[in-house]
Amino acid sequence: MASAVPVVTLNSGYTCPMLGLGTWKSKPGEVELAVKAAIDAGYRHIDCAYVYFNENEVGQAIREKIQQGVVRREDLFLTSKLWCTFHDPALVEGAARQSMAELGVDYLDLYLIHFPQGYAPGDDIFAKLPNGRTNASVFDYVDTWLAMEALVRKGLVRSIGVSNFNKRQLDRVLGIATIKPAMQQIEVHPYLNNTKLIEYCRSLGIAVTAYSPLGSPDRPWAKPGEPNLMQDPRLRGIAEKHKKSVPQVLIRYALDRGLVVIPKSVTPERIVQNFNVLDFKLDPEDLEKIASLECGGRFCDLKDVDHRDYPFLDEY
């Protein structure tokens, strides 16, 4: 019998299940079924964001499972994220309330600034000017952070954090924060171990969530011939050794590094399989071999963003 999902205690005092369901790229018409399947399988952590444009369907699934008595609201850990066009401090609370309304809840367990770069508000989520450049917000992400803190004080959000911030940007937030970030969510997988940034966050008491732990093979901008974790023969060998699938090995790899991990799937069978990682651990030699796959392979780099606060130019 598989053991219970491990939890991490955040610096806010709340606990976060270390295995959750990611909903990025989960299409309308698919995500409701995915969330229902995940809750039935035992997931209690659902990772969402405004810019995924599917929070209403996630909310429908949650409401149904609560009505069925499968879970209570307090059993669930729900994360959402503030998109870049809402960095104006005057817009932060409205954005959070919109996500809460779509999810059908009266508080969020965790709310993250999705990216450090702020965009001018408007209907275009990337705020592109006619010349293709990004129309940057006049607001600094440290101003946005102070508005995030107000959400905690009002009881709308239990824990707050950041996503895709580099060390320098994290330091600037810490320089003005009265509520320390509880979580940093970053891309982490064997081609991008992000070890320095993870260790730095840990030194500050900030938990880390690994997104795209499977290498996001279904990303819309993937090109033929690009490296694919799922097809890596070195990972296949480790998977065969443990009688597991490559995705299970990748998820276990994140857990064995002490990371919160949020694999995405909309296929009920895969959702169950991705949860079935609590009955084994990787050996030290497995961990060393997997870590050696590091090649700086960032898949989610927003290369077309021209912004003063673009985070991926620094060393970490």
CATH number at residue 107: 3.20.20.100
pLDDT digits (tens, 9 = 90+) for 252-286: 999 999 999 999 999 999 999 999 999 999 999 99
Task: Please name the residues in contact with 192: beta carbons below 8 A apart, sequence gap of 6 or more.
Answer: 294, 295, 296, 297, 298, 299
Q: What is the C-alpha separation between 136 and 87, in angstroms, rounded?
A: 10
| Average pLDDT of the residues in 153-168 | 98
Residue 77 and residue 110: Cα distance in Å, rounded?
Answer: 8
Q: CB-based contacts of 144: which residues, under 8 Å, 6+ apart?
A: 82, 87, 88, 89, 92, 113, 118
In this prediction, residue 217 has a pLDDT band, given cuts at 50, 70 and 90, of confident
Tell me phi and psi for residue 58, to 5 degrees. -60, -45
Q: Would residue 2 count as lying in a domain?
A: no
**172-193 pLDDT per residue, tens:** 999 999 999 999 999 999 999 9
**What pLDDT does residue 225 have?**
83
Q: Which residues contact 232 (CB under 8 A, 6 or more apart)?
A: 190, 246, 293
Domain count, the chain: 1
Which residue numbers are catalytic? 52
- Cβ atoms of 120 and 136 within 8 Å: the answer is yes
Residue pair 144/92 in contact (Cβ under 8 Å)? The answer is yes
- Note whether residue 316 is domain-resident: no
Q: Provide the CA 228 distance to its chain's centre, in angstroms.
A: 20
Inter-residue contact 164 to 115 (CB < 8 Å): yes
Distance CA 21, CA 94 (A): 25
SS3 273: helix
Instruction: For residue range 193-204, list pLDDT tens digits in order.
Output: 999 999 999 999
pLDDT over 50 (residue 229): yes
CB 263 within 8 A of CB 22: yes
Amino acid 3: pLDDT: 64
Is 315 part of a structural domain of the chain?
A: no
pLDDT mean across residues, the chain: 96
- Which amino acid does the sequence have at 6? P
Query: What is the model's pTM?
Result: 0.97
In a domain, 15, yes or no: yes
Residue 1 has pLDDT above 50, yes or no: no
pLDDT score recorded for residue 288: 97
Phi, psi of 135 (to 5 degrees): -85, 95
| Residue 123: closest CA among 18, 53, 218 | 53
Tell me whether residue 312 is in a domain. no
Domain with 239 in it: 7-217+225-307
E strand or H helix at 211, and its extent? strand 207-211
Q: For residue 234, is it within any domain?
A: yes
Compare 75 and 25 and report the one with higher pLDDT.
75
**pLDDT per residue as tens digits for the range 31-61:** 999 999 999 999 999 999 999 999 999 999 9
Sign of CA dihedral 156, 159, 165, 171: positive
Using the predicted structure, report yes or no on whether residue 64 has a pLDDT greater than 90. yes
Q: Is residue 80 part of a domain?
A: yes
Among the residue ranges 196-205, 216-225, 247-256, the one predicted with the least confidence is 216-225
Instruction: Give strand pairing partners of 46.
Output: 21, 78
* 1: in domain: no
pLDDT category of residue 219 using cuts at 50, 70 and 90: confident
